[in-house]
Amino acid sequence: MTELPLSKICEILATQGLPATLDGDDLDVRAVNTLADATRGELSFLSNPKYLPALQDTRASAVIVKDGVPVPDGVTAMRCEDPYTAVTVAIIELHGHRKHPAWGLDTAARIHPSSVIGENPNIGPGVTIAAQTRLGANCTIYPGCYIGDDVHIGDDCTLYPNVVLYDGTRLGNRVAIHAGSVIGEDGLGYAPRDGGWFKIPMIGRAVIDDDVEIGANCAIDRGTLSDTRIGAGTKLGNCNVVGHGTVLGHDCMIVAQVGLAGSVHMGDRVIVKGQSGVSGHLSIGDDAVIGPMSGVANDVPENGNVFGVPATGFTKASRAITALRKLPEALRRLRELEKEVEEVHRRLGKNDI
């Protein structure tokens, strides 16, 4: 177990462009923990103001907070502009990233002789690698993964257990795919014919660029003709579905259970919140934000912020929601008003109008 003095963590933060100052005693800390669960010798943090009361009760020895946030007596404050990023750095320093089991090239992995494996492989039992595949250096392939024909994988990739890459899939460098995700399966491409469905061969590929991380049990279609593509640095959570021929830009965030239909063109740094969907053939501009449980049925411009089903601008959607809550009462008022106007007519003699 690593132990580090707070001052050392401040030094590390400074080298990463995240200057922090100590307000209180310099102490050794051995772990990062939540405000509620931390004990003496642990470092905690406050990022979401919702947890301010927990800060007053914490037993942590030190907390990372913004300037001006009051901390209890006897707790050292490490003050910086972005406590969330700072605590991430502290977690990495104190706990590190996951250490994978070391299989080397396991004898129970089945690798086709025509495939080429890069340096320093870590390939578990029960992995199957089909023909004409190329795997870069330092890749970890957990047990139960299947890598199809003609797949190219870059360096430093991690496939967690039971990941499936269909034939022709391309992964860049430092791609991580969590357990059970499937990349490059056929999309739902059929032509209606004679009252049934006539299967369209999917000759495009799924292409996953550098530094993409994909959660568990996702399904990313191959393209029908042109490739499906996930841009560099984009992150997807669990159980997301990406349709055939859809292209995502770089550094997007797709939360969970999102469905992107086919042939969507999404820009860079787009955020799609949980359980939302985007219809086929739409364009989503750079830096757009799609709210949770929203159904996007029209193009979204750069920096657009949409919500609802069908999704409209966030302010408009919020107003509609507020208005809808008032609607039952408004209908009552409308009926009342109709009666009053009726009464006015009666007094004025409606027939005369």
Site for a copy of itself in 115-154 (CB under 8 A): 124-126, 128, 130-131, 142-144, 146, 148-149
Q: Quick one: which of 221, 228, 284, 300 contacts a copy of itself (CB under 8 A)?
A: 221
Q: Quick one: which of 76, 238, 249, 272 contacts a copy of itself (CB under 8 A)?
A: 238
CA distance 244 to 234: 17
Residue type, 335: R
Cis peptide before 125 (omega within 30 of 0): no
Q: Quick one: which of 8, 22, 24, 85 contacts a copy of itself (CB under 8 A)?
A: 85
Q: Which is nearer to a copy of itself, 76 or 240 (CB)?
A: 240
Q: Which is nearer to a copy of itself, 15 or 322 (CB)?
A: 322
- Span of 4-12, 58-66, 69-77, 108-116 interacting with a copy of itself by CB under 8 A: 108-116
Residue 306, both tokens = 């949409």
Task: Provide the minimum distance between the beta carbon of 324 and a copy of itself in the complex, in angstroms, as a whole number.
Answer: 5
Q: Quick one: which of 68, 73, 196, 351 contacts a copy of itself (CB under 8 A)?
A: 196
Active site residue 95: no
If we measure between CA atoms, which residue out of 269, 276, 270 comes closest to residue 291?
A: 276
Site membership for a copy of itself, residue 14 (CB under 8 A): no
Decide if 15 contacts 85 (C-beta within 8 A): no
CA distance 314 to 350: 45
Site membership for a copy of itself, residue 270 (CB under 8 A): no
Point out the catalytic residue in the list 244, 265, 281, 345: 244
Site membership for a copy of itself, residue 55 (CB under 8 A): no
CA distance 315 to 98: 42
Residues 6+ away with beta carbon under 8 Å from 140:
100, 122, 123, 157, 158, 159
Q: Are strands 176-177 and 247-248 parallel, antiparallel or unpaired?
A: unpaired
The secondary structure element, H or E, covering residue 12 is helix 6-15
Kindly compute the dihedral angle of the four CA atoms of residues 35, 37, 38, 44, in this order, to the nearest 10 degrees.
-30
Task: Provide the minimum distance between the beta carbon of 317 and a copy of itself in the complex, in angstroms, as a whole number.
Answer: 9
Q: Quick one: which of 26, 67, 81, 340 contacts a copy of itself (CB under 8 A)?
A: 340
Site membership for a copy of itself, residue 52 (CB under 8 A): no
Count of positions on this chain that bind a copy of itself (CB under 8 A): 123
**Active-site residue numbers?**
244
